[in-house]
Amino acid sequence: MDIAGLDPAVVAAVERETSELLSRLIQIDTSNPPGNETAVAELMDRWFREAGLQGEIVGEPADRRSFVLRLEGQRPGPSLLLLAHEDVVPANAADWQVPPFSGLIKDGYVWGRGAVDVKNLVAAHAVAVKRLAAAGAPFAGSVTYACTADEEEGTVGGARWLVEHRPDLMRCDYVINEGGGHFLEHAAGRIYLVESGEKGTAQFRLVVHGEAGHASVPLRHGNAVLAAARVVEALVAHELPVVVDESSRELVELLVSDRDLRARLRDPAAARGALADLAACDPRLADMIEPLYGFAFSPTIVQSNSVAVNVYPTRVELSVDCRMLAGHDEDEVEAEVRAALAGVEAEWDLEWIGVIRGNASPYPTPLSDAIRTVLQRYVPDAELANSHSVGFTDSNWFRAAYPGIVAYNFAPHIVESYDDVTSRYHNVDERILVRDLAFQALFAERVALEVLQ
């Protein structure tokens, strides 16, 4: 399909440049762990130098560095950061149709690990900045390009290191990052999701204690495995409190057509039942809204200290991934764990694995206005729906480090929808349509010009 208002020759040229660059990026295996992101930083440094632009390879350790480049505009003004990460999750080649690090371009797609998460933006943002520079940087303020290490695990360096150690490079007024930008077809037109915040993580370990003994006596008390099973059942069955805030409001108002159901979904006392009714008629939408209604407990790993199959363990460890909305903390999570396990026949202790509090930027703002203006220029029936990411992105580090910053997750697709794209994240046969990749580059360029007037 043609993109309304854009010269097909320009679109074709951007398609070639973004797809070729993305292919080269995918061919660098930056599976995290171990990462090896410096190789991407070096590629981007060479790529920009060939265009007459100079940035900086920065960060530590030496094999896990980032690349940052700042393009100054023609007059003073605000600053915009175009952000994406260099690392990817691992891929098992045996499960893929094509080698996951081939960067193969075929059937109108670029294939490979990172094609939508998120080397596509490493490439698209780079082409956008190069085009802005070639046009003479006709904007106020500055545009910063950054591709950063270690987003998938977030334990070594990357964006968190940069905001702490190099605020001279990273401090800005606006951030556009991965996530969001997926559209859902609706009776009134396309609804594009823009993420103005994200849930935090409060991951914990429940250590269930028992008595050692011979497994040939199954009725004896003290089997920590059975106690751990009761703990899992109680956590899953526990009805967590409903939180109805701004993170879900526009999704409900724009996408739920039944007026009574909309009202019930916005009422904390009725929301659980309303979600069940929504799931019966629109399970996809219910799956999108439900995580925005508060805490979520997901047991993921169970381990015991038994070394033999015929020995009861004295210790079983149950790891739980918990997500919490912006404004909530680990004390509230622990209170819910204790409420869930009250009365459960088990002796247990709670140990924190890691806590990152969620945060959010104001909405609406000049940045969301610019996103809407540019989007509707090319997709006239489009509307934005504000939401929060239920996962984690590096936007969190910027909001925490620089109060007052506006960081949104938005990387729009114009051809393939929410259902097409989101199923490929961390999955086999990851790929992006070349037309969507080009649109992301052109969109970033136009948003920069719109917000930096």
- 13-43 pLDDT, tens digit per residue, is 999 999 999 999 999 999 999 999 999 999 9
What residues have CB less than 8 Å from 392, skipping those under 6 apart?
154, 198, 199, 201, 356
Q: 208 and 91, same structural domain? A: no
Q: 204 and 143, same structural domain? A: no
pLDDT of residue 219: 60
Tell me the three state secondary structure of residue 309: coil
Q: 155 and 38, same structural domain? A: yes
Q: Please indicate, yes or no, if residue 325 is contained in any of the structural domains.
A: yes
CATH number at residue 280: 3.30.70.360
Low-confidence residues of the chain: pLDDT under 50: none
CATH number at residue 13: 3.40.630.10
Q: Which of 324, 356, 388 is the last residue of a domain?
A: 356
d(CA 418, CA 284): 10
Residue 224's domain spans which residues?
Answer: 200-356
Q: Please indicate, yes or no, if residue 33 is contained in any of the structural domains.
A: yes
Contact, 21 vs 126, CB < 8 A? yes
Q: 99 and 30, same structural domain? A: yes
**Among 195, 148, 191, 118, residue whose Cα is nearest residue 408:** 195
Q: Which of 356, 385, 407 is the last residue of a domain?
A: 356
Q: Please indicate, yes or no, if residue 434 is contained in any of the structural domains.
A: yes
Q: 212 and 181, same structural domain? A: no
- pTM of the complete model: 0.94
Q: Please indicate, yes or no, if residue 65 is contained in any of the structural domains.
A: yes
Q: 83 and 226, same structural domain? A: no
What residues have CB less than 8 Å from 414, skipping those under 6 apart?
1, 3, 378, 379, 435, 436, 439
pLDDT of residue 369: 98
Query: What order of strands is seen across the sheet that includes strand 200-209?
Result: 296-304, 315-324, 200-209, 347-356
Q: 368 and 339, same structural domain? A: no
pLDDT of residue 20: 98
Q: Please indicate, yes or no, if residue 3 is contained in any of the structural domains.
A: no
Q: 418 and 392, same structural domain? A: yes
Q: Read off the tokens for 88.
A: 């990817």
Q: Please indicate, yes or no, if residue 239 is contained in any of the structural domains.
A: yes
pLDDT digits over 346-397, tens only?
A: 999 999 999 999 999 999 999 999 999 999 999 999 999 999 999 899 999 9
What residues have CB less than 8 Å from 446, skipping those under 6 apart?
374, 377
Q: 347 and 393, same structural domain? A: no
Contact, 297 vs 238, CB < 8 A? yes
- Taking CA atoms, 270 is separated from 241, 250, 277, 355, in Å, by 12, 18, 11, 30
On the 0-12 / 13-18 / 19+ scale of CB atoms within 10 A, 381 is exposed
Q: Please indicate, yes or no, if residue 1 is contained in any of the structural domains.
A: no
Q: Please indicate, yes or no, if residue 2 is contained in any of the structural domains.
A: no
pLDDT of residue 1: 61
Q: 217 and 105, same structural domain? A: no
42: region left, alpha or beta (phi > 0 left; psi from -120 to 50 alpha): alpha
Q: Which of 317, 334, 356 is the last residue of a domain?
A: 356
d(CA 148, CA 117): 13
Q: 376 and 261, same structural domain? A: no
Q: 126 and 40, same structural domain? A: yes
Q: Read off the tokens for 308.
A: 């033999």
Contact, 191 vs 256, CB < 8 A? no
What residues have CB less than 8 Å from 347, skipping those under 6 apart?
208, 209, 210, 227
pLDDT of residue 3: 81
pLDDT of residue 222: 86
Tell me how many domains the chain contains.
2
